Amino acid sequence: MMEAGVPFCSTCGEPVGFLSSSSGELFVACHRCNYPLCRPCLEEECRQGRDSCLRCGETYALCGEFPWKESLNDLESGDHLTIASHLQDEQGNGVHARNLSNMSITESELNGGAGNPIWKNRVESWKEKKHKKNVSKKPVKEIHIPPEQQIEANEYPPKAGQPLSSIVPISPNKLTPYRAVIIMRLIILGLFFHYRITNPVDSAYGLWLTSVICEVWFAFSWVLDQFPKWCPVSRETFIDRLSARYERDAESCSLAAVDFFVSTVDPLKEPPLITANTVLSILAVDYPVEKVSCYVSDDGAAMLTFETLAETAEFARKWVPFCKKYLIEPRAPEFYFSQKFDYLKDKVQPSFVKERRAMKRDYEEYKVRINALVAKAQKTPEEGWVMQDGTPWPGNNTRDHPGMIQVFLGSTGAHDMEGNELPRLVYVSREKRPGYQHHKKAGAMNALVRVSAVLTNAPYILNLDCDHYVNNSKAVHEAMCFMMDSSVGRDVCYIQFPQRFDGIDRSDRYANRNIVFFDINMKGLDGIQGPVYVGTGCVFNRQALYGYGPPSLPALPKSSLCSWCCCCPSKKDSKEKKESYRDSRREDLNAAIFNLREIDNYDEYERSLLMSQMSFEKSFGLSTVFIESTMMENGGVPESVNPSTLIKEAIHVISCGYEEKTEWGKEIGWIYGSVTEDILTGFKMHCRGWRSIYCMPLRPAFKGSAPINLSDRLHQVLRWALGSVEIFLSRHCPLWYGYGGGRLKWLQRLAYVNTIVYPFTSLPLVAYCSLPAICLLTGKFIIPTLSNVASMLFLGLFISIILTSVLELRWSGVGIEDWWRNEQFWVIGGVSAHLFAVFQGFLKMLAGVDTNFTVTAKASEDAEFGELYVFKWTTVLIPPTTLLVVNLVGVVAGFSDALNSGYEAWGPLFGKVFFSLWVILHLYPFLKGLMGRQNRTPTIVVLWSVLLASVFSLLWVKIDPFLSHDADSSSGSQGCNSIDC
């Protein structure tokens, strides 16, 4: 265990160590800025000719002390050591993580016919070619810096050595009362359930028992939702410091490269114009163009998408320089030109107005061309689509077609109108054949991972849905403030941005914005192990997607078994300990199968097991180019690869049979087994020991569109809930998965358990919403006559619920209207979509009955918010409609019964009616959507009119002014039972 205060190497993530074994002085690579670099990494830097500090530019003084020239001479003379012998030498002296990550993983149990290790020879040849190329191209010599550049290097910017991000703690004045109220509410809940269980209602025992079971589940659900928010945090980034550290010189920008992934399926339901705007916003992002590549996955193999990208690439030659010249925000033209604001604000160039008008005219012409393509695609020709050169479109059969890749822009492609290079734009449609499982979106994303690794291999990946555009051109810089900070980014698997949406009505009737989840729950998770992955707006560390563990993962303790020692226990006990030890290691391997730093802690049997799991071809597939790219931790295309063969290799890695008998979808890439592959993928990474970070810049990084009408919104929620049920019934259920490594924090596990069990809340919720109507119709109640103590318990419970919500809104900044909309839709979705998801999930997982989902519409062709009033009747709407009608009828029946029973019945009536009104108020948005627009006058007015008319009619019958009310007539009328009386 290293002593406290020892920094970690910014390259390999290990402690930098001490200057010598005897002295307690830390090893320092650069004496000017104290850049954290360990001795082996410094030796590697000097060996490759990089003898100046990456942070301040100062020449390393220790480079002359390393005997690296001899090793290069040995390499040139062909006296190359084998990797196996290298491993044996270093295992005796302590293995360095950098060497292990590049060398030890090349061992494999796959041997040739003569017993020669195949992968050992392959990797040796790769590294030998690489070293020889470096020696021939870049002879090692002392680098002389001109005096004027030395002056600039000595003037080291103070911001470059400061942290790139910081945690903004929430004020204790807000957080301490919040935690105190949570504890108080937990105590009150215990007292409340003690009273409820010990005071049954004998006259309505079934109703009482049902209500208690439902309340216990609600309390359990509240604990799962509340306690992961125990320690919320906020973060801020310093982009100026990032630029000062990595962008001091435009010619030698050292920012990391980023590959953008955009996925689309059906261009008739996901409008091509929306996808094109997303692509344009990516191409115009404020980031070095040579560091940006955009990959568009067309999983529907549509010629319309291909032609749209061709038009988009041509229009980008005008749009990208316009955005960068005038600092346009956002850089999606459709949303920029539709903004209602003073576009001349902060613009001082006289030519801006003229160029903006010209650009808007060009964009309108571009839209006409895209709309013409869409109109043409409405009817497919009988002979199929034909490309411009007369050849048939390969994707005419969407379920049986070859893989297709087209590079539109890039270093060898078209430049913009000013002659500058544009980011690379690549169209990808993976191969599909009958009889193969393609795994929908997760399979498409994994295909993009392999294609991008072959063509560009950026160390970071940013994935977006086709309807989520880049709203903040500095979004990539925001993410790099975490990823490229050596003190933060080495353990980070992804940076999750919140989802923000356009085109939603002002009142957000159906809680489409999910403000409570993104501004409260995700902040809470950021204080534990990080937010969950929500499918879009996420920047990944590519190494985390490959199934590797984080660099700082602590090594497991070595086995202390000594079977030959006289003081050891019996042989039987030793065997049992060895078996339990081995089982624990197997569980740990399942949690992180590529934890390379632990290889020297295993015995021969365990090492063979580990190397079996780490076998390249069994894990990554049969592609030498792709496998070599996985060993390049800092990205980049391998130098040993012939550029002319890259497209052929890229086609190979997207073939439909490439993933057969590999770890893709199991331990590598996006994980299969659920329609919500995002939650499952993030969960697997957290189980391996990674952490994630929640980034909320002042200007939203990405914005998208959401289905805002009631039917589409419920089907979207149904899909999410079904995915959670699938995870619950799979081996990846957080209730029992991932305990072996002990790397998933308990509060984080509670959060993941909450994400998979929330659909099951629909069962007690439906029962609880039915209880008020049953009580009103039967005249019974679920609560006995309240005593003073019971009244105090109920009052304390309601006050604690209100205080918890108020204090939560106080520290999060969420408005009360957003909170109330979230509460309403929690009931609406719970009694409709979640209920169906539970039954469909069990049918799918237990009976094999699959449910096909249609993609929800991403744009509306009506007037503003016209889609809000579109109504499509589906079976999902039956349960909430039934609950509404039953509760309305129950209210009428309750008033009628109270009028007939006298004044003593009005007291219990108010409790029952309050209970029923709670259900009606929560379902009110559903009722409003059910009734439609009708000239913006909701038909609920008619319903309430009928309800009130019924109540007044019953009152009229009860009073009846034509009936005599004297005592005699009353007694006579009460005693008369015949009609003629």
- Residues with a catalytic annotation lie at 299, 678
Q: Is the dihedral of CA 535, 537, 538, 542 positive or negative?
A: positive
Query: Does 579 appear as a known binding residue?
Result: no
Written as six digits, the tokens of 310 are: 């061709």
Query: Does 440 appear as a known binding residue?
Result: yes
Q: How far is 576 from 37, CA to CA, in rounded Å?
A: 43
Task: Kindly compute the dihedral angle of the four CA atoms of residues 510, 512, 516, 518, in this order, to the nearest 10 degrees.
Answer: 170
Q: How far is 335 from 341, CA to CA, in rounded Å?
A: 12
Q: How far is 23 from 5, CA to CA, in rounded Å?
A: 16
Cα 155–chain centre separation: 41
H or E element at residue 833: helix 833-846
Tell me if 45 sits within 8 A of 60, measured CB to CB: yes
Q: How far is 280 from 425, CA to CA, in rounded Å?
A: 10
Nearest to 239 by CA among 507, 32, 3, 474: 474
Query: Does 441 appear as a known binding residue?
Result: yes
Query: Does 137 appear as a known binding residue?
Result: no
DSSP bridge partners of 541? 460
Task: Kindly compute the dihedral angle of the four CA atoms of residues 563, 564, 566, 568, in this order, to the nearest 10 degrees.
Answer: -10
What lies within 8 Å, CB to CB, of 110 at 6+ separation is 117, 118, 119, 615, 617
Query: Does 263 appear as a known binding residue?
Result: yes
**Please, where are the H alpha helices in 408-501?**
440-455, 475-483
Q: How far is 721 from 710, CA to CA, in rounded Å?
A: 16
Q: How far is 259 from 261, CA to CA, in rounded Å?
A: 7
Nearest to 30 by CA among 50, 14, 12, 48: 50
Q: How far is 750 from 772, CA to CA, in rounded Å?
A: 32
DSSP bridge partners of 168? 234
Query: Does 299 appear as a known binding residue?
Result: yes
Q: How far is 379 from 396, CA to CA, in rounded Å?
A: 13
Tell me if 291 sits within 8 A of 411, measured CB to CB: no
Q: How far is 256 from 481, CA to CA, in rounded Å?
A: 11
Query: Does 864 appear as a known binding residue?
Result: no
Q: How far is 542 from 537, CA to CA, in rounded Å?
A: 15
Tell me if 51 sits within 8 A of 63, measured CB to CB: yes
Q: What are the phi and psi torsion angles at 143 (to 5°)? A: -90, 125
Indicate the annotated binding residues for Mn(2+): 441, 465
Binding site for UDP-alpha-D-glucose: what residues are annotated? 263, 269-270, 299, 440
